[in-house]
Structure 1
């Protein structure tokens, strides 16, 4: 069966400089096994399937798959799926996405989309043994880590703050067994407030994600709560991979953190699944 399909680039206004996402715009009738098989075939960090919502408050429902498993929530798939969905739907104002993590609000500001950061599932200090393991896997000493915290909003992130953006860019990680996000500040007056890198284990190797919405969401919540950041700010990610991801962070008066970015369509057509 032919199904409408888009491959989009997220957190960039320039094609092929952000994080790609495959979106199947009609996932009705597909089994979990079929979705997972297709996501494994695309071999992108995430592939999404759009379905009718089960909640009356939602505009659509999305299922998010990595090549090996399903996620309840992820950031760049949220913005990328919404961008693709909007190509065939008129929806001014706020869009509500239903996913495994619940209902996620997405708002439009010109060409930019932003999602409301979900609450953290786990936060607080990192155990000393885990911190030592992560520092060793990154090729640095524990003394090089300014602060560390759990920043888990679904994928399981552990966040490490280093002394500078340069220290983040200098990382050459070895084997890691946990999803870890690393952040360091740029000097005052720079166009970006922070450099971010995201690492996770896959098939016995350490993989780096080009631009990561979920991590930037939880990093913002952590950095804002500790007084290390002030909104609005822009984070840079993907530099070490030759990408130019730009993640825009803001916070409402009620404390809601918004994670935004541009999205561009790179491939459009149909795919045969089922």
Structure 2
């Protein structure tokens, strides 16, 4: 069996920046364990497998794997897969069946190897639990207790399909010097895959509103350059404190700068009578390579 694949950089317009992604095409013949093994072989934060859709009018079904687990939803694989499908099918919208549900992504071509995709969240974020032990959080992140918190934001657990422990910190300098202490990690961050999204506001940076870093040892990720599912969870916390009753707010978030893989993620939220009714994630992606997996015995 030989399977063609593409390599993309996502949440960036520049090759060799952003978050890397492998997209395996025409993967219908693969078993679950084979997909997991291929994702482990690529050893990227995520690998996407494109399958025939269950419903004919949809564009494709996808499966998303980290090196260790399958995810029902993830942002940078959705953006990357949408750009690939948009380019291949020469369309401006794609309908993707993910385990979380159907996602419709709007696609705009930049050139024959790149484009931008934006999609509405298939599941709006919900608050799962508070995070109240700031001393434990500070110890786990290698920062001071009084450096936790940013403006109106306080630590909490949210999910838009994947659970994240959201930890606001005082400013970008604190974010840059986070140093993980794994001894109490699972106890301090007990939900889901023990994933932590550390973020701050960036009022002194002209090109973005927020900055973040994501760590998820439970997914097999030391640090992820750009995490759409975490940004989707963050929409829940942003919405709680957005100074609008009815209307829309747009943000630009940077991630991955500390890794030398800068990502730019666009975030959108809309409220009606103080209730969140829409969340959106977007970004650019560019194809940087292609090849074939040779799985013949």
- 2:200 maps to 184
1:253, distance to aligned residue in structure 2 (A): 6.9
- 1:172 maps to 179
Q: Does 1:214 align with 2:229?
A: yes
Count of residue pairs brought into register by the alignment: 271
* Equivalent pair of 1:39/1:47 in contact (CA under 8 Å): yes
Deviates more, 1:246-255 or 1:263-272: 246-255
1:132, distance to aligned residue in structure 2 (A): 4.1
Please, which runs of 5 or more residues in structure 1 have no aligned partner? Answer: none
Question: Matched residues in 2 for 1:248 and 1:125: separation?
Answer: 25
* Equivalent pair of 2:249/2:270 in contact (CA under 8 Å): no
Q: Where do residues 230-249 of structure 1 align in structure 2 (5 Å cutoff)?
A: 231-249=249-267
The Cα RMSD (Å) is: 2.3
* Equivalent pair of 1:233/1:248 in contact (CA under 8 Å): yes
Deviates more, 1:221-230 or 1:106-115: 221-230
Cα distance, 1:112–1:34 mapped onto 2, change above 3 Å: same
Deviates more, 1:50-59 or 1:73-82: 50-59
- Per-residue CA distance 1:35-87 (angstroms, 9 max, x = gap): 11111111111111111111355321000111111111111011111222223
* Equivalent pair of 2:270/2:279 in contact (CA under 8 Å): yes
Q: Where do residues 1-274 of structure 1 align in structure 2 (5 Å cutoff)?
A: 1-56=1-56, 58-92=58-92, 94-110=93-109, 111-120=115-124, 122-129=126-133, 131-146=134-149, 147-175=154-182, 176-177=185-186, 178-187=194-203, 190-201=206-217, 207-227=222-242, 231-251=249-269, 255-273=277-295
- So what's the TM-score if we normalise by structure 1? 0.90
Name the SS for the 2:123 alignment partner: coil
1:126, distance to aligned residue in structure 2 (A): 1.6
Please, which runs of 5 or more residues in structure 2 have no aligned partner? Answer: 110-114, 187-193
1:17, distance to aligned residue in structure 2 (A): 0.8
Name the SS for the 1:143 alignment partner: helix
Cα distance, 1:189–1:242 mapped onto 2, change above 3 Å: closer
Question: Matched residues in 2 for 1:239 and 1:267: separation?
Answer: 23
